[in-house]
Amino acid sequence: MASDRIFSRRGFLGVLAGTAGASMLAACSSPAAAPAKPAESKPAETKPAESKPAETKPAAPAAEAKPTTAPAAAAKPAEAAKPAAGGPVVVWQGLDYLPQVTSLMGERFTAVAKEKGFQLTFEELPAGAASTDRFKAAVQAGTPPDIYRNFDYENQFWRIQGQTVEVSDIVNPVKDQQGGFLGPVTNTLAFENKWWGVPMAVNCWPFHVRQDLLDKAGMKYPKNWDELRQQGKELTKAPLYYYGMTLGKVNDSNNHFIGMLWTMGGKLQNDDGSLAAKAGDESWLKTLDLVTQMFDQDKIIPPGSTNWDDGGNNTGYQSEQLVITSNPTSVYNWCLQNKPELAKATKFYSYPAGSAGSFGQVDVWGLGLFKNGKGGENARTLLNSFIDPKWYADYINNGLKGRFVPVFKDMGNDPVWKQDLYSEYQNIINTARSMAHSAAPLGAIAEITSKFVIADLVQDVVVKKVKPADALASFVKTAGEIYAKPENKR
C-alpha cells in the first residue's frame, strides 16, 4: 500500500535532486584556502610527463579583458612584481629531442626543493605545438606555471604582455662571470638594462653535412653559394637531394631564409629596431633569386620541401636523403642514438659565404618567471640554482654534451667543444646572430615569426610563382604594418 511507503517517489526524487545539487555546488566551489603550511622537508614530487590535453576551461574575462578606450600602447609591461612569499612551485618544460635537457633540470630542481623544503611539481610536456598550445591556454586562463622555457622572441613577447616578472636580481650577480654572456643572450633576454628571463641555452643552427659523401666525391664543404650550387648539381641523384632547405610555412623556413639573407648583406631589423627590408632591396631579391634557382633550376632542394613541417629536414637527413641541412643539433643527437654510423659521417659547418660573408645562426632559450605563478620566492630559488655557474657548466657541457652552446663565453672552452665534430663551431659562435639581428626581438619579431610572414614570402615566390620583386613588396607592406603597431615597439 502506498501509505506504507517511507518515501513517496516524488520525495525520493526530491532528495536525489537535492543531493545532486549539493554535490555540484561542492564540486564547483573552490577549496578553501589552506592555511600556509610550514616548510615541509619531504621530497618534492616530480611528476612524470603527462599528456593531458590543454585545459579547455575558458579564461575569466573579468579582470583580464576589460574594454578600454586607451590604445594598446598605453598598456605598460608588467612592473617587477614584488616576490610573493614562497608557495608550491610548478615548472613546465617541453620535452626536447634529448631527454636529458629536461630530466637533468628536473633532478636539479627536485634536489633544491627538497633541501629548501618546499613543494615542486616538475612536469615534462610533450614536444611541439601540443605543449605550447597548452601553455598559452594556461596563460590566458591566468593559471600558468611559475617557470616555463621560452624560445627566443617569446621571452620578450611575454614581457610585453605583462606576464613575466623581472629577474635582474637573479641574472645580474652572474652575468659577468665566465667571460660574460654571448651577445645574442643579452639581446634576447634583457630590455632597458633589466632581465626578463634567466638564460638557459644558446641553440645553434649548424649545417649538418654528410662528410662521408663529400669525401667520397673528393669534395670539400662549399665556401660560397656558387660552389654549393655546383656541388649540389653533381651530388643530387633522387632520392638523394643536396640541400634540405625548408620552404613550408613553418619556423625552419624563417630561419633558413634569414640565415641566407645575412650572407647577402640583408637583415630583418636595423639597430634601432625598425624594419630593415625595403621594396626592391637588392639583398632580399638576391636571396629570393638564389632560392628559386636552387629549387627550380638546379633542383638540388627536394621538391616536397614546400610542404615540409619543422621535422621535414630532420627526417630527410635522418633517412639519408639529404647531403646538407641547417638545423639545431637535435638531428645529430637523434643520429647518435639511432644511427651511430650516420652520426659518425656527419660534420658541422657554418653557412656558405655570400657577398657579405658568412654568419652563424642561433636562437636563445630562457626560463621565464610568470607573475601568476604561486611559487614566489621559491621559484626564484630554483632559477638561482639553475644559473649557478658551477652547476650550469656541468649541465650544459657534461650533461648535454654539445646539444646547446653555453650562455657563458668561457664555457665554450670546455673539452667537449674541442672535438673534431665541433671544429667549425667557434666560427659559428663568433659570428652568431639571432633572427632579430641587429636589434632585440621585440613585439614585431614575435608577430612576424609567429605569423610566418617570412615563410609566406618564400612560398609566394616558390609555390605561387609570384615575381620576387612583387612578393617582396607585399612582404614589406605586411611587415611594415606589424612594425608600425605601438605595442610592437616596446
Partner 1 sequence: MSTLQVAARGSVATAQPRRNPFGRDWKLGYALSLPVFFVVIGLVAYPLAYSFWLSLQDVKVGAPGTFVGFANYYKVLFDSEARIHDAFWSSAWITLLYVGGACLGKLIIGMVSALILNAEIKARHFWRSLLFLPWSIPALVTAYTWKWMYNDVNGVYNAALTGIGLIDAPILFLAKPEYALWSILFAVIWQGTPFWTMTFLAGLQAIPGELYEAAEIDGATTFKSFVYITLPSIMSVVVVTVMLSTIWTTNSIQFIYILTNGGPGGATETFPLLAISQGLRSYDLGIGSTIPLLFFPFFAFMIYVVTKRMLKTGE
| Binding positions for partner 1, rule: CB under 8 A | 10, 13-14, 17-18, 20-21, 24, 28, 56, 58-59, 61, 64-72, 75, 129, 133, 136-137, 139-140, 157-158, 160-163, 238-239, 248-250, 302-307, 309, 319, 321, 446-447, 450-451, 459-460, 463-464, 478, 487
Least Å distance, CB 165 to partner 1, is 13
| Number of CB atoms found within 10 A of residue 472's CB | 23
232 or 402: CB nearest partner 1: 232
Least Å distance, CB 397 to partner 1, is 34
Closest CA to 392 of 171, 92, 98: 171
302 or 352: CB nearest partner 1: 302
CB 354 within 8 A of CB 263: yes
16 or 39: CB nearest partner 1: 16
103 or 307: CB nearest partner 1: 307
* 3-class secondary structure per residue, the chain: CHHHCCCCHHHHHHHHHHHHHHHHHHHHCCCCCCCCCCCCCCCCCCCCCCCCCCCCCCCCHHHHCCCCCCCHHHCCCCCCCCCCCCCCEEEEEECCCCCHHHHHHHHHHHHHHHHHCCCEEEEEECCCHHHHHHHHHHHHCCCCCCEEEEECCHHHHHHHCCCECCCHHHHHHHCCHHHCECHHHHHHHEECCEECCEEEEEEECCEEEEHHHHHHCCCCCCCEHHHHHHHHHHHCECCEEEECCCCCCCHHHHHHHHHHHHHCCCCCECCCCCECCCCCCHHHHHHHHHHHHHHHHCCCCCHHHHHCCCCHHHHHHHCCCEEEEECCCHHHHHHHHHCHHHHHCEEEECCCEECCECCCEEEEEEEEEECCCCCCHHHHHHHHHHHCHHHHHHHHHHHCCCCCECCEHHHHHCHHHHCHHHCCHHHHHHCCECCCCCCCCCHHHHHHHHCCHHHHHHHHHHCCCCCHHHHHHHHHHHHHHHHHCHHHHC
10 or 42: CB nearest partner 1: 10
10 or 390: CB nearest partner 1: 10
Least Å distance, CB 215 to partner 1, is 24
The amino acid at 100:
Q
1 or 25: CB nearest partner 1: 25
CB 223 within 8 A of CB 358: no
Least Å distance, CB 64 to partner 1, is 6
Least Å distance, CB 416 to partner 1, is 35
159 or 433: CB nearest partner 1: 159
150 or 186: CB nearest partner 1: 150
| Number of CB atoms found within 10 A of residue 477's CB | 10
Cα separation, 379 vs 369, whole angstroms: 8
Cell of 456: 609566406
Cell of 403: 646539444
Cα separation, 213 vs 216, whole angstroms: 5
6 or 36: CB nearest partner 1: 6
Residue given cell 622555457 in the structure block: 149
Cell of 109: 630542481
Least Å distance, CB 81 to partner 1, is 15
Least Å distance, CB 174 to partner 1, is 28
Least Å distance, CB 7 to partner 1, is 13
24 or 39: CB nearest partner 1: 24
Least Å distance, CB 116 to partner 1, is 29
Least Å distance, CB 197 to partner 1, is 15
Least Å distance, CB 471 to partner 1, is 11
295 or 359: CB nearest partner 1: 295
Least Å distance, CB 52 to partner 1, is 17
Least Å distance, CB 451 to partner 1, is 5
Check the CA dihedral 359-360-365-366 and report its sign: negative
